[in-house]
């Protein structure tokens, strides 16, 4: 691999694929071919096939649509292993190849705020009486499933990190920096015709840069879309409560999908900056407490917990709450209050046409230096 494709100078610099790099393949094109498609796509994208098998030595470090485990291979090297749920085979290979198609591009691999795909290894399972006969090789008595191998985050995902002692001690400036990291990743994805479609704290991994310094990297591209033109239709996965209020079962044009990513990003920033789960000082008293609780992941019973938040999102009251939190936060100086308020007004609008999708403008509200 040429050194130039690996370099990514500064966070303010945007790499683009260029017209020639728009792939002639897609996750949908490969998803019907199963295991062979994974091998073929890995070869085409020059993704390494690693001579290792997945090892569940150190347990889970995060959980989203798939399980992410960590395994210590040596004193010097450790990886994160993403195993997909073999019991739920609907769209399984589509998720795998879609993630490979996006993360396998060298410019994405070199991005400072997108998790690095190192290669593919194998999950080798022995069959038992409960295993469907169509799922295993009768001659060998084993199953072999692809596993994506990533750089390991020692700090876990953003949601877990934010609840840790280190996360709770973060300054507001550090939180704004984390928000900007995530925003830079989304900015560069959008500039390269990629819709993430599932922005939330569990899909952001945290890395330590030095004493008290951290870097955020966006992960989990199994439901992302690399579109070709502005008339393409994009399906957005359901991820309550982070979905934009206009989310429904139908597909969206790319510009509309970008606005949905912006809304989810605004919700992530609201959650991180103001620690809404623990907030007791709220502008709407008991109603707001219910909304704050809706950001909690404990129990995952969204049929009951998400009702208050859904109503707020549909009426712009979540935006009103966000702007009041910013205005009343004593940690923010006057100029910073204005910027953060403008950020929420640009991202959390119920009307997607009022959201700003110009990431230079969005990032200037969070961190003018970037």
Task: Give the global pTM.
Answer: 0.80
Model pLDDT for residues 269-303, shown as the tens digit of each residue: 999 998 765 544 444 444 555 666 666 655 445 45
How far apart (Å, rounded) are the C-alpha atoms in residues 361 and 370? 10
| Model pLDDT for residues 63-110, shown as the tens digit of each residue | 555 665 555 555 335 788 888 776 655 566 777 888 888 888 777 878
Give dist(CA 264, CA 295) in Å, integer: 13
CB 196 within 8 A of CB 189: yes
- Looking at every residue in the chain, the average pLDDT score rounds to 78
Rounded distance, CA 148 to CA 317, Å? Answer: 41
Cα separation, 119 vs 42, in Å, equals 9
Give the pairing of strands 213-218 and 142-151: unpaired
Domains of the chain (ranges, CATH numbers): 35-151 (3.30.200.20), 156-366 (1.10.510.10)
């Amino acid at each position: 691999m040429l050194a130039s494709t690996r370099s990514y100078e500064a966070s303010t610099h945007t790499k683009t694929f260029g017209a020639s790099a728009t792939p002639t393949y897609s996750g949908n094109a490969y998803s019907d071919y199963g295991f062979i498609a994974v091998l073929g796509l890995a070869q085409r994208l020059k993704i390494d096939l690693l001579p290792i098998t997945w090892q569940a030595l150190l347990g889970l470090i995060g959980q989203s649509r798939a399980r992410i485990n960590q395994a210590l291979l040596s004193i010097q090297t450790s990886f994160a292993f993403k195993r997909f749920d073999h019991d739920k085979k609907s769209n399984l290979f589509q998720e795998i190849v879609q993630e490979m198609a996006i993360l396998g591009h060298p410019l994405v691999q070199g991005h400072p705020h997108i998790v690095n795909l190192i290669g593919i290894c194998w999950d080798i399972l022995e069959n038992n009486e409960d295993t469907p006969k169509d799922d295993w090789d009768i001659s060998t008595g084993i199953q072999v499933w692809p596993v994506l191998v990533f750089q390991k985050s020692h700090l876990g995902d953003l949601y877990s990190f934010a609840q840790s002692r280190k996360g709770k001690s973060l300054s507001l400036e550090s939180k704004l920096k984390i928000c900007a990291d995530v925003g830079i990743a989304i900015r560069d994805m959008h500039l390269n015709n990629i819709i993430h479609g599932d922005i939330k704290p569990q899909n952001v991994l945290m890395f330590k840069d030095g004493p008290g310094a951290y870097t955020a990297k966006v992960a989990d591209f199994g439901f992302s879309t690399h579109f070709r033109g502005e008339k393409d239709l994009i399906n957005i996965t359901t991820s309550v409560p982070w979905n934009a209020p206009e989310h429904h079962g139908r597909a969206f044009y790319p510009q509309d999908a970008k606005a949905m990513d912006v809304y989810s990003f605004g919700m992530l920033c609201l959650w991180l900056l103001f620690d809404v789960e623990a907030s007791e000082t709220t502008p709407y008293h008991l109603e707001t407490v219910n909304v704050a609780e809706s950001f909690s992941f404990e129990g995952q019973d969204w049929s009951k917990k998400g009702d208050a938040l859904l109503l707020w999102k549909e009426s712009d009251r979540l935006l009103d709450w966000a702007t009041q939190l910013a205005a009343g936060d004593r940690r923010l100086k006057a100029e910073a209050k204005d910027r953060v308020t403008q950020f929420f007004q640009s991202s959390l609008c119920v009307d997607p046409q009022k959201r700003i999708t110009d990431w230079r403008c969005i990032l200037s509200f969070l961190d003018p230096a970037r």
